Structure 1
Amino acid sequence: MSRLPASVDDRIGSLYRRFPAALVARRNVSRNRLRSALAVLGIVIGVVAIASLGLAGTTLQTAFTSSFAGIGDQLVVNPAFDEGVTELTERDVERIERVATDAAVVPVRSKRAVVSVGRDQTVVTAYAASGVGAVYPSAEGRIPDRLRRGAVVGSGVADRFDIEPGNSLSVDGDSYRVVAVLESQGGGFDPLGVDQAVFLPNDAVDGDGYGQVIVKAESGTAANETAVAIRAELNEREPRVSVFELSSIVDQITSFLSVIRTFLVAIGGISLVVAGVSILNVMLMSTVERREEIGVFRAVGVYKRDVMAIILVEAAMLGLVGGLVGAAVSAGVGVALASFALGDPLAAFTVTNLLYLALAVVFGVVTSLLSGLYPAWKAANERPVEALRD
């Protein structure tokens, strides 16, 4: 077997003794920059897929919460129709007010009515609810504490007829002056149909009882406690009411969005697996090309664990660079999404989003290390004699 000159052996041994595994690995990575760049690109794509989809899910959930969180503190108390109760009495309203401490209680009657402005007309729900201002804020105009005359219109009705406070409209032939326009309810999420409704004084809708009672508490937790108290008070002897908590809708949608976010991250993980295969291929090819060099390392006394360390450090370097670049790109994507969906670019840098970025980098490095295990083991177990002969 031919031997390398002693000077070559000395240089190789001196190189390894002088430089730790990280420097030797860095030299090896830089030997074939194109191949290393392609491996890094695979990690970048995987990290961007995971982090960006996670950030998109978080931004979507934040946008939903900011738009719809305001309805989570509301309750709608309806008659127990299944038990034959068709309307709520004044006595029922008084009992609700007694247990709903620190909450606004607004009893309402409703009917379908024809609203017209000039020759333009449409059918809406007309509510007789004098305390509407305690539950729904106005976008234009001022809502009096007790609505004795005039009308309050939902944002959809206002847009439909292009009206504002001070204008007049007709409800079933009776003329009313618009005193206020309500804010839009939850960006299109309007389970009570408030956007397409008109609120009138109590005497505008016939009837002695009420079709429902709207309760607005100070928070979602307070609304839940109030719902429990109302059920206990009015359904103690026999069921009289059913209580619908709007917070339950918000909770269900929030949970659904969390599932979607997890699913999106899982899809992104597939890209990272593909990137791991790319790293494995690069490491294997690099090991084959440097078989003689590895044989020399082993011949001059370099331990197997040190050879494995060099290969694994190479893989970790590729993963770290790809992870950091991918995290930077993902942060830019997150800023763009937050700016578009929330109107605040800095909203992208929440604790949850930063955690996604950090975990994406960690996953990139771990994937690279796992992909480098077999090439490292294969290189460390090369027999020096066979490597040098080839």
Structure 2
Amino acid sequence: MIGNDIILALSVRSVRLHFLRSVLAALGIVIGVVAIASIGMMGTNMTLSVTEELSDMANKLTVTPYTGGGGVTMGGPGIRIAAGGSSDDDDFIAEDQFRDIERIVAKYGTAYTVRSESDRIEVGSETGRATIYGLDPDIIRELLVVEEGEYPKSTTSVVIGPTLAERLDLKVGSKIDIGDPDEGPTTTVRVVGVLEERGMSMDLSTDMAIIGTDKLFTGIYGGEGEYDQVNVVVNDINNADAVKTAIEDELNRKEDTVTVQDSSRMMESITSSLSTMTTFVMAIAAISLLVAAVSIFNVMMMSVNERVREIGILRSIGTQRTEILRMFIYEAGILGLVGAIIGAVASLIIGYIVVLGMVGTAEYFFAPASIVYVPMAMAVGAAICIVTGVYPAWRASNLDPIEALRAE
């Protein structure tokens, strides 16, 4: 009976004797491990990055007038498209409705009103369109951060978003004419501040907007006591569902008058979509491991066919079938282990480059949810090698010793 150390030595010897063939077989495992780990880490980093960006608005609810027919308000304030119903420019949230919302929200967070309109603007010889917001002066100071200048203090001063400032070359002190002169009088306002970039947001999209006080807005468009939407900021995200339900129960008691949108649901939907996409792409990448499995199977079958006489000699000196089986399983395991280790090292290097290039940041690269794909891919790669080597090993262990000795 041959000791296990000798069986392992024979397996290592076989790999070394057919080094190039073994390297090519292990290369398939390396590619498979790199593909699965890199794509998994990229998807996780993308999900974590998006979640971080959206987390600031996940505790916000948006209350808008009900559009009818199960419609969904899309496009943000001032640009509403009713899906499944008709849009009505006269739809608004009344002052008494806002007071009800404010009363409900009082113990959970803060509610504030938003007036908005998309209108033509003119700066010198340049014309364009922008969203005009009307907010309470205290809310402007609380929610928005001025990067340059100051907050508006009068009905003729405004702050603007950075994208709008860049496109129209606006600075502090610039004047903007709001309105179409062909349709009526225009209103001239002075820029007193440029806001910090805010990016995507469910409540206020200010990067391409002009923000002034409520009095400025109603002075231009009227609508005293009428609001386009009410935004709710809850202190604890766990209370978002309770607040949403309470508002709907109170304001939609007799008939549907408002629609409440929960930002956290959008975040869950986005992260779920990213996870599904990542899983799908990883499944495609796993095909490379199937190709590697075929390669390992071929190498092991060739090894069995080339060593028939050696197997016969080993069996004739007392080697058990289980030991022959283990010898070939060890050989497949060596190929899988070496390929998995090299693949893991390559995954860390290539994965970092892929994440940095595709996501734009490697901040979450070494996060547990990201780095776990490396050992996972290693385990899958090594397991595939061992499973693929089972049949060739079984075939070798069941060769007839006498027939094996007669082989050329």
Aligned pair partner of 1:100 in 100, 105, 120: 105
Answering whether residue 137 of structure 2 is matched by residue 151 of structure 1, we say no
The alignment status of 1:331 with 2:344, answered yes or no, reads no
- Of 258, 281, 284, the match for 1:241: 258
Q: What RMSD over aligned residues (CA atoms) do the two structures have, in Å?
A: 2.4
- For 2:324, what is the secondary structure of its paired residue? helix
CA distance in 1 between counterparts of 2:149 and 2:54 reads: 23
C-alpha separation in 2, matches of 1:219 and 1:156: 31
Q: Deviations over 1:123-158 (max 9, x none)?
A: 1221211223434444444446x8755212223212
Larger mean Cα displacement after TM superposition, 234-243 or 326-335: 234-243
Mean CA deviation greater in 37-46 or 232-241: 232-241
Give the structure 2 partner of residue 10 of structure 1: none
Q: CA deviation at 1:29?
A: 0.8
Q: Distance in 2 between matches of 1:75 and 1:147?
A: 29
Cα shift at 1:166: 4.1
Match in the other structure for 1:109 = 115
Within 5 Å, which residues of 2 pair with 1:23-34? 23-34=9-20
Counterpart of 1:196? Answer: 208
1:182 matched residue in structure 2: 195
Distance in 2 of aligned mates of 1:153 and 1:33:
68
Of the candidates 170, 177, 189, which is equivalent to residue 170 of structure 1? 177
Q: Deviations over 1:14-66 (max 9, x none)?
A: xx448343222111111111000001101111111111111121122122223
What is the SS of the residue equivalent to 1:260?
helix
Change (3 A) 1:221 1:138: farther
SS of 1:71 mapped into structure 2: coil
Identity fraction in percent = 34
Cross-structure match for 1:60: 46
Taking the aligned partners of 1:223 and 1:139, their CA distance within structure 2 comes to: 31
DSSP 3-state at the match of 2:55: helix
Residues 180/222 of structure 1: CA separation in 2 closer, same or farther (3 Å cut): farther
1:152–1:181 contact (8 Å) kept in structure 2: yes
Equivalent position to 2:381, from 364, 367, 381:
364
Distance 2:333 2:363 in 1: 31
**What secondary structure is seen at the aligned counterpart in 2 of 1:91?**
helix
Give the alignment partner of residue 311 of structure 2, picking from 260, 284, 294: 294
Give, in angstroms, the shift of residue 82 of structure 1. Answer: 2.5
Q: Distance in 1 between matches of 2:351 and 2:279?
A: 17
TM (normalized to structure 1)?
A: 0.88
Moved more, 158-167 or 319-328: 158-167
Greater shift after overlay, 324-333 or 31-40?
Answer: 324-333
Distance 1:45 1:374 in 2: 24
- Aligned partner of 1:207 in structure 2 is 223
SS of 1:82's partner is coil
The answer on whether the counterparts of 1:135 and 1:215 sit within 8 Å (CA) in structure 2 is no
Q: Aligned letter for 1:235?
A: N
Which structure has greater helix proportion? 1
Residues 52 and 256 (structure 1), Cα distance of their counterparts in 2 relative to 1, 3 Å cut: same
- Residue pair 2:42, 2:358 contacting (<8 A) in 1 also: no
Scaled by the length of structure 2, what TM-score is found? 0.84
Report the counterpart of residue 9 of structure 1 in structure 2.
Answer: none
Q: Residue 67 of structure 1 aligns to which amino acid in structure 2?
A: E
Sort the Cα spacing of 1:259 and 1:270 in 2 relative to 1 into closer, same or farther, 3 A: same
Residue of structure 2 equivalent to 1:347: 364
Match of 1:384 in 2: 401
Cα distance in 2 between the residues matched to 1:177 and 1:234: 39
Provide structure 1 residue ranges, at least 5 long, that are not aligned to the other structure: 1-12
Report if the CA contact (8 A) 1:77-1:213 is conserved: yes
Query: Which residue is 1:6 aligned to?
Result: none
The total of aligned residue pairs comes to 374
